[in-house]
Amino acid sequence: MENINWSELPFGYVKTDYNVRCYYKDGKWGQIKVSSSEYIPLHIAATSLHYGQQSFEGLKAFMGEDGKIRLFRWEENAKRMQDSARGILMAPPPTELFRKLIYKVILKNKKFVPPYGTGASLYIRPLLIGTSPKVGVKPAEEFLLIMFVSPVGPYFKTGFSPVSMLVTRKYDRAAPLGTGKYKVGGNYAASLTSMKKAHDEGYASVLYLDAKEKKYIDECGPANFFGIKNNTYITPKSESILPSITNQSLMSIAEHLGLKTERRAIELTELSSFEETGACGTAAVISPISKITDDDYGINYEFKNAPGKITTQLYEKLLAVQTGKDEDIFGWVSIVE
Ligand code: PLP
Ligand code: COI
Q: Quote the number of domains for the chain.
A: 2
Give the atom of ligand 2 at the shortest distance from the alpha carbon of 59. Answer: 3
Interval 106-121 mean pLDDT: 95
Nearest CA to ligand 2 atom 7: 222
Decide which of 152, 180, 210 is a domain's last residue.
152
Which of 242, 245, 314, 322 has most ligand 1 atoms within 8 Å of its beta carbon, as the pocket-test mutant? 242
- Say if residue 207 is in the same domain as residue 146: no
Decide which of 152, 184, 213 is a domain's last residue.
152
**Is residue 209 one of the residues assigned to a domain?**
yes
In sign, the C-alpha dihedral spanning 325, 329, 334, 337 is positive
* C-alpha span between 298 and 211 (Å, rounded): 20
Query: Which residue in 183, 197, 309, 325 is the catalytic one?
Result: 183
The confidence score (pLDDT) of residue 334 equals: 98
Which pLDDT band, with edges at 50, 70 and 90, does 156 fall under? confident
Of 250, 203, 198, nearest to 224 (Cα)? Answer: 250
The confidence score (pLDDT) of residue 154 equals: 79
* C-alpha span between 226 and 209 (Å, rounded): 14
Bridge partner list, 216: 267
**Is residue 248 one of the residues assigned to a domain?**
yes
Alpha helices per DSSP H over the chain: 47-50, 74-87, 95-108, 185-200, 245-256, 309-322
- Say if residue 53 is in the same domain as residue 98: yes
- Say if residue 100 is in the same domain as residue 221: no
Give the atom of ligand 2 at the shortest distance from the alpha carbon of 281. Answer: 2
Give the atom of ligand 2 at the shortest distance from the alpha carbon of 284. Answer: 2
**Is residue 254 one of the residues assigned to a domain?**
yes
**Is residue 332 one of the residues assigned to a domain?**
no
- Say if residue 77 is in the same domain as residue 176: no
Residue 243 confidence (pLDDT) above 90: yes
Residue 157 confidence (pLDDT) above 80: no
- Say if residue 15 is in the same domain as residue 111: yes
pLDDT tens digits for range 61-93 = 999 999 999 999 999 999 999 999 999 999 999
* Structural domain for 126, as ranges: 6-152
Nearest CA to ligand 2 atom 8: 283
Of 42, 51, 128, nearest to 84 (Cα)? Answer: 128
Known active-site residue 111: no
CATH of the domain at 18: 3.30.470.10
CA of 136 to the centre of ligand 2 (A): 31
> CB of 259 within 8 A of CB of 308?
no
**Is residue 158 one of the residues assigned to a domain?**
no
**Residues above pLDDT 90, as percent of the chain:** 95
Measured torsion, CA atoms of residues 47, 52, 54, 57, in degrees rounded to the nearest 10: 170
pLDDT tens digits for range 285-320 = 999 999 999 999 999 999 999 999 999 999 999 999
* C-alpha span between 276 and 273 (Å, rounded): 9
Which pLDDT band, with edges at 50, 70 and 90, does 116 fall under? very high
Q: Which ligand is nearest to the CA of 223?
A: 1
Residue 1 confidence (pLDDT) above 70: no
- Say if residue 222 is in the same domain as residue 291: yes
Mean pLDDT of the chain: 96
- Give the other-Cβ count within 10 Å of 301's Cβ: 22
Interval 9-21 mean pLDDT: 96
Interval 249-278 mean pLDDT: 98
CA of 1 to the centre of ligand 2 (A): 25
- Say if residue 113 is in the same domain as residue 200: no
Which pLDDT band, with edges at 50, 70 and 90, does 322 fall under? very high
**Is residue 192 one of the residues assigned to a domain?**
yes
CA of 287 to the centre of ligand 1 (A): 13
> CB of 35 within 8 A of CB of 144?
no
**Cα of 288 vs its chain's centroid, Å:** 16
- Say if residue 218 is in the same domain as residue 265: yes
Interval 167-176 mean pLDDT: 95
- Say if residue 282 is in the same domain as residue 218: yes
pLDDT tens digits for range 180-238 = 999 999 999 999 999 999 999 999 999 999 999 999 999 999 999 999 999 999 999 99
In sign, the C-alpha dihedral spanning 25, 29, 32, 35 is positive
Q: Is residue 54 within a helix (H) or strand (E), and if so which, with residue range? A: strand 54-56
Interval 282-287 mean pLDDT: 94
CA of 134 to the centre of ligand 1 (A): 30
- Say if residue 109 is in the same domain as residue 218: no
Q: Which ligand is nearest to the CA of 127?
A: 2
> CB of 299 within 8 A of CB of 271?
no
The confidence score (pLDDT) of residue 160 equals: 86
- Say if residue 286 is in the same domain as residue 313: yes
In sign, the C-alpha dihedral spanning 170, 175, 179, 181 is positive
CATH of the domain at 216: 3.20.10.10
**Is residue 225 one of the residues assigned to a domain?**
yes
The confidence score (pLDDT) of residue 3 equals: 82
- Say if residue 61 is in the same domain as residue 168: no
CA of 138 to the centre of ligand 2 (A): 27
pLDDT tens digits for range 29-61 = 999 999 999 999 999 999 999 999 999 999 999
Q: Which ligand is nearest to the CA of 220?
A: 1
Amino acid identity at 249: S
Q: Is the pTM of this model over 0.75?
A: yes
**Is residue 335 one of the residues assigned to a domain?**
no
Decide which of 128, 152, 176 is a domain's last residue.
152
The confidence score (pLDDT) of residue 78 equals: 98
> CB of 47 within 8 A of CB of 138?
yes
Give the atom of ligand 1 at the shortest distance from the alpha carbon of 80. Answer: 15
